[in-house]
Structure 1
């Protein structure tokens, strides 16, 4: 054991990876459905390993923190910039107010409880589950004109307050929005949500008006044209129109005439006779739901011998933002292609008739390769699977952001600066937005984004925990209970204010209000709980815009809270 301890002290980089491994293991442990999560797990394991007297250079945590912040900005950039359009202004205003409430409530609680600067920054970070505040606040504290010993003492208090308040910040907020929120938004909550879904072309009662809400994928099936509908010859267009009128976006891909060769690419005018076999493209439940419409499924392996493709496409065509999904399904460019999912930032938005795409959305489509290529070209840029990250783009973005953020204007003893971390976040937003407009450069694959986010943040948190370890227990004993109580207020009060603002001031639909509250607080766990609780994906429509604004402002509050408290 002594040898292991000395080895960790002499090679502290090994302590970081041990902390990561143990932290992720602890973070996955669930007790009655609740888990600490990787960040809190890593922090606690870092504090435990930090008791061994291990010192790690602050350059390590700063480097990985900048990587994390660039990834955050890059991810939310398209939604942040595109939300600035006129139709997104109410949600932007809502998110700004909620973020200000998060800051002000934390500040007031700190003043009432008599917390020092470090505990206040940790309270803001943990109660609002925005881990990046730890790094931004640390950078700002290091610029203050105080002694090194004071800086170290203050900075070591941040993870203490964060750890105490984070658990309720995550679980408490999700519970409050999912369970209490609907009750605070009126007795007719369910009715208003369903009416809003109907206005978007959703499923109401027995009238299935939804676009593709049940699509988790597509399938190709061979159906024999044996129903009475084919007692007289029909064109391919007539058959597809029949299916569309039933609410089924199903396409005819190939035809084997009763007596003839396979028609590889039928046109709208191709004639279909009774007994012909058709390859239909669509979800399996709709293809075989009513055999009287077309006919019965048959086995024909040769007819199904063709290539299909499923890819993701970044929407860059600005003309498409004025088109509803209902209208899009009749466009010739769309023919033969199924829209499986639509991603807007971190949210999977509902595929309802009157929903419109935005530039920067990622659309997952599937169909025959020729059809997919045509529709992908119309939508924007096909995101072909790749494992190559444009490190030139990433490195330049972090460098420029750090340089700009390091510019400082001093007012007396107080530095006014975004700090390097704030500058990198802003530059990440700009670079992410630029990538959504011109996807031919600056590629950072989704797995790379995940790694930059998780590895960057958790290595930063690991170093914070290890360095703060010796002072952690003392700080916890001194302010643990008062921090936990303050954390409840900081977590819940802004959400209560948000529910009231959404209902009485902005007059959002209740589902939109819940999604906007979750987004402004950047709590993905709450979004999932809300959607499960009300059985609707509508909250995702407001989550994306408010998440982009909230994720940016709450991180910047790490600078502001230091200035307020100093």
Structure 2
């Protein structure tokens, strides 16, 4: 009865796959978590035995929206990291070269078809988008409908098997095996790196800062009398800012030229270590409530200033004119939806979202110098979104013949490139193209999982056949394809690029596009230093790996 219902109303099978799949994917076994995408695929493969099928049009629309949103959100970071992020970018190139070589080796050794080869690449590299681009490429081969369906089903089955083993492999490699190979204590290395970046100390699991990094204090001037506000702030590297001066019940605007007098009440703010050091040189702390009407604003700013790209937080402050930087502090840095430590030696990239803290006028001035304010909005610019997807579909029709292999980007590759371009345009001209992060995340999650559920339902009957045909060869090959680029990157990153171990392991997680791996790494290290390396390779690999779908289909056809 249930099987007949699913076959008659496939929308039930679709949403059942999403609901049950995300439920299954939410369970964790240590640091291992399947996630919603893999969970949805597994459930869809089971429900696909009922004969439920989703319309190909819905599948294509869902994938186009997912891949465009993926490119749109990663566009600013992708273009920012092409140049200055070259050291980490090398690791993304290593990932691509080694994965292609290993997949083609498996094709020759195991006599794999194009679909199985593409599925192995997608699963071992833990990049779900390859499933879509490779499926499109197979659909354009001009094969009989039955053969096309079989090869596309093989993509999904090989992906589901190799993804599971690839995920476990990359998590264990980055958190356990790599530190053993390098003979380092990962937590100690992360704490040392944290301190070298200007941090006070690393946090262990479950800890948070009891003393915030940015503080304010009200003081009565004694020892600081006779010096100007500008001299006082310069003495502490402009990490302290005088927000208000009260003299004989009159409020004086806190200008750099104002000379402090004994008995003045001053409200200072800034980085905690600088404020603590400045208090003895100014006077005595007061505990009155006179400063309660002074507020600190928080403003999120998209960094677009070309001259700031590649500078550290400390360098940005040192190079800025005192009048421009006065009273503005960077409290947080967000890169690709990941928070990285906003420490003095943290390097900033175009496309980062900086959280500025200070008086309203100060943060507004800082925002104007650094980029544009990210306004909280719930509105999506559907004109921009529609034009972007249309442009992607148009780009996808372009084709080329390279080395005897016909390469066509297809809708997936075209929408990915269009998303990159439109995301970059949005970062340069923020008045157009609004796509709130929440809306973009819905497009990515729902679009990808709807596509995965659709192909999983159609692949259900062929899944068992492929697993019986290759047996343990698929998971073992998946492990090898995952380990290969990780090992090569470990050697290249440590011996040639001289990357710090926590950042290197984060970069290896990023080149695999593995969110579970970076989450496990942050838990093991006790701080967020691995995220610095992760964001760069993730931005690059998340764009480059999906483009390999058509390539591996073409190459596997010639090798096989």
TM-score greater than 0.5 by the shorter chain: yes
SS state at 1:164 partner: helix
Decide whether aligned partners of structure 1 residues 466 and 297 sit closer, same or farther in structure 2, where only a CA change above 3 A counts: farther
Q: After superposition, what is the alpha-carbon deviation per residue over 1:434-473, rounded to whole angstroms, capped at 9, x for unaligned?
A: 2222222112111111111111111111112222223323
Structure 1 position 488, deviation (Å): 0.9
Number of the residue aligned with 2:550: 559
Match of 1:115 among 108, 112, 115: 112
Q: After superposition, what is the alpha-carbon deviation per residue over 1:263-298, rounded to whole angstroms, capped at 9, x for unaligned?
A: 3x4111333344443333346687568864555654
- The answer to whether residue 172 in structure 2 is matched with residue 141 in structure 1 is no
- The answer to whether residue 325 in structure 2 is matched with residue 371 in structure 1 is no
- Hey, what's the Cα distance between the residues in 2 that align with 1:557 and 1:153? 20
Decide whether aligned partners of structure 1 residues 449 and 293 sit closer, same or farther in structure 2, where only a CA change above 3 A counts: farther
Number of the residue aligned with 1:262: 251
Moved more, 325-334 or 36-45: 325-334
- Hey, what's the Cα distance between the residues in 2 that align with 1:84 and 1:61? 32
- Hey, what's the Cα distance between the residues in 2 that align with 1:311 and 1:410? 49
Q: CA contact under 8 A between 1:126 and 1:487: conserved in structure 2?
A: yes
Structure 1 position 551, deviation (Å): 1.4
- The answer to whether residue 64 in structure 2 is matched with residue 66 in structure 1 is yes
Moved more, 74-83 or 553-562: 74-83
Q: After superposition, what is the alpha-carbon deviation per residue over 1:495-532, rounded to whole angstroms, capped at 9, x for unaligned?
A: 00111122333344444433332222222333343344
Give the unaligned 5+ runs of structure 2: 203-207
Structure 1 position 144, deviation (Å): 0.9
- The answer to whether residue 308 in structure 2 is matched with residue 320 in structure 1 is yes
Matched residue pairs, number?
A: 549
Q: After superposition, what is the alpha-carbon deviation per residue over 1:513-557, rounded to whole angstroms, capped at 9, x for unaligned?
A: 333322222223333433444455444443333222211221111
When the two chains are superposed, the root-mean-square deviation of aligned CA atoms in Å is 3.2
- Hey, what's the Cα distance between the residues in 2 that align with 1:378 and 1:393? 27
Match of 2:223 among 213, 223, 229: 229
- The answer to whether residue 2 in structure 2 is matched with residue 20 in structure 1 is no
Decide whether aligned partners of structure 1 residues 294 and 146 sit closer, same or farther in structure 2, where only a CA change above 3 A counts: same
Matched ranges for 1:514-533 at <5 A: 514-533=505-524
Q: After superposition, what is the alpha-carbon deviation per residue over 1:363-389, rounded to whole angstroms, capped at 9, x for unaligned?
A: 111222211111111111101101111
Number of the residue aligned with 1:280: 268
- Hey, what's the Cα distance between the residues in 2 that align with 1:356 and 1:349? 10
Structure 1 position 484, deviation (Å): 1.0
Decide whether aligned partners of structure 1 residues 460 and 427 sit closer, same or farther in structure 2, where only a CA change above 3 A counts: same
Matched ranges for 1:215-364 at <5 A: 221-225=216-220, 229-230=223-224, 232-242=225-235, 244=236, 249-257=239-247, 259-263=248-252, 265-282=253-270, 292=280, 294=282, 297-321=285-309, 323-329=311-317, 331=320, 332-364=323-355
- The answer to whether residue 34 in structure 2 is matched with residue 36 in structure 1 is yes
Q: CA contact under 8 A between 1:222 and 1:277: conserved in structure 2?
A: no
SS state at 2:223 partner: helix
- Hey, what's the Cα distance between the residues in 2 that align with 1:509 and 1:322? 17
- Hey, what's the Cα distance between the residues in 1 that align with 2:282 and 2:209? 21
SS state at 2:179 partner: helix
Decide whether aligned partners of structure 1 residues 177 and 134 sit closer, same or farther in structure 2, where only a CA change above 3 A counts: same
Decide whether aligned partners of structure 1 residues 205 and 26 sit closer, same or farther in structure 2, where only a CA change above 3 A counts: closer
Q: CA contact under 8 A between 1:121 and 1:562: conserved in structure 2?
A: yes
Matched ranges for 1:348-427 at <5 A: 348-409=339-400, 415-427=406-418
Q: After superposition, what is the alpha-carbon deviation per residue over 1:401-458, rounded to whole angstroms, capped at 9, x for unaligned?
A: 1112123356999642111211111111111122222222112111111111111111
Q: After superposition, what is the alpha-carbon deviation per residue over 1:6-31, rounded to whole angstroms, capped at 9, x for unaligned?
A: 55433322322222111111111223
Matched ranges for 1:421-436 at <5 A: 421-436=412-427
- Hey, what's the Cα distance between the residues in 1 that align with 2:429 and 2:139? 38
Q: After superposition, what is the alpha-carbon deviation per residue over 1:85-138, rounded to whole angstroms, capped at 9, x for unaligned?
A: 2x4334333321221111211221233233332222211111110001111110
Moved more, 28-37 or 298-307: 298-307
Match of 1:94 among 91, 95, 108: 91
What TM-score, normalized to structure 2? 0.88
Decide whether aligned partners of structure 1 residues 118 and 360 sit closer, same or farther in structure 2, where only a CA change above 3 A counts: same
Decide whether aligned partners of structure 1 residues 324 and 420 sit closer, same or farther in structure 2, where only a CA change above 3 A counts: same
Match of 2:541 among 535, 541, 550: 550
Number of the residue aligned with 2:205: none
- Hey, what's the Cα distance between the residues in 2 that align with 1:380 and 1:176? 39
- Hey, what's the Cα distance between the residues in 1 that align with 2:109 and 2:262? 81
